[in-house]
Amino acid sequence: MSSGFEAIVWKENKIVLLDQTQIPISETYISYDELAPYIDAIQRLVVRGAPALGVAGAYGVVLVIDEAARKGHSAQELEHNLDLLRDARPTAVNLAWAVEKIRKHLPEGRDAVLAAAHQLASEDKQSSTDMGNIGADWLINKLGSKPMTLLTHCNTGSLATTGTGTALGVIKEMHKRGFVKEVYADETRPLLQGSRLTAWELMKSDIPYHIEPDGAAAMAILSGRIDAALIGADRIAKNGDSANKIGSLSVALACHAAGIPFLVVAPESTVDRSIKTGSEIHIEIRGDEELTHFKGIQVAPIGAKTFNPAFDVTPAKYISAVITEKHSYEIAEGQTL
Ligand code: MRU
């Protein structure tokens, strides 16, 4: 494993997560073999990022089976626990997709379920490599063979996948080819996936970067500092509308105004062809404390009401291309993925 860490692994019949709430201060691994604390970890973003959540769902099915065997759960309880796991976070389709895909192997027995989960994890890793290559080819084809300044939002790297990443995977591939001047990483309010996680990965990969507040992205883009922006996705509708971390839409609008490429990079498993447009995407709304408190200290007036959506939806018309491990889709009006 090239990055020197793994966001999620199956080890000694437990799921081991790198605790992303503690990065970059400490690299702490936590093992799980019970569903309740595992769901809590998913909801607190100990593990996060759509593809990693898919892998978390896949191994979570084995965790549920093992816990059921230890505690003598009925078949009905086991199925109920799988539903709880599937629904732990609503927006990233990869979680539900992986749970449903892997639970189909239940009749074949526990070891077959584990083998299917391992297979899903290894396909996820390969998809990072393939997205990296397709995305880098797209950028070079569009902008030429030159060092570029690239902007990204949230964290879409090895912490969010089992490989190099989606958008950050493309950036790492561009760096390998010698075409990254520097990266502007949006801090990504309110949980700071950009300034804590993306900056940490960029530092480890020796890629020059600045972190910036989310509110600086439009200025950076319109002032001509940025050649292209790349983000990941949590769910992509059939028409190309893409849900991603809150603040992604503002980046897309600024890129549209500046006339620079805005790429969405995500595996095919993030494309949800069962929904026609982004208006059907369930957006996770998170708790008040993420906004009213900072490190446990109240920073807003007591009783302040919040609007804290974890994701927004960028309409397809503002997306230059969707990059998957199979294709680069440039979606014209009225076309679908
Ligand atoms: O709330 P998070 O940190 O799970 O949100 C993650 C994102 O929005 C990512 O950009 C997305 O899942 C793609 S990760 C390759």
Task: Quick: pLDDT tens for 295-335.
Answer: 999 999 999 999 999 999 999 999 999 999 999 999 998 89
Q: Give the model confidence (pLDDT) of 128-187 as tens digits.
A: 999 999 999 999 999 999 999 999 999 999 999 999 999 999 999 999 999 999 999 999
DSSP 8-state symbol, 273: T
Question: Is residue 190 within 6 Å of ligand 1 at its C-beta?
Answer: no
Instruction: Kindly state the tokens that stand for 44.
Output: 């607190």
DSSP sequence for 190-241: TTTIIIIIIHHHHHHTT--EEEE-GGGHHHHHHTT--SEEEE--SEEETT--
- Name the residue with higher pLDDT: 28 or 1: 28
The answer, yes or no, to whether ipTM is higher than 0.90 is yes
Q: Which of 124, 214, 227, 234 is catalytic?
A: 234
Distances (CA, A) of 42 to 18, 173, 218, 262: 12, 29, 31, 29
Question: Is residue 267 within 6 Å of ligand 1 at its C-beta?
Answer: no
Q: Give the model confidence (pLDDT) of 237-254 as tens digits.
A: 999 999 999 999 999 999
Whether the pLDDT of residue 2 is over 60: the answer is no
Whether the pLDDT of residue 1 is over 50: the answer is no
Separation between Cα atoms, residue 7 and residue 73, nearest integer Å: 29
- pLDDT bin (cut points 50, 70, 90) of residue 53 is very high
* pLDDT for position 333: 85
Question: Is residue 89 within 6 Å of ligand 1 at its C-beta?
Answer: no
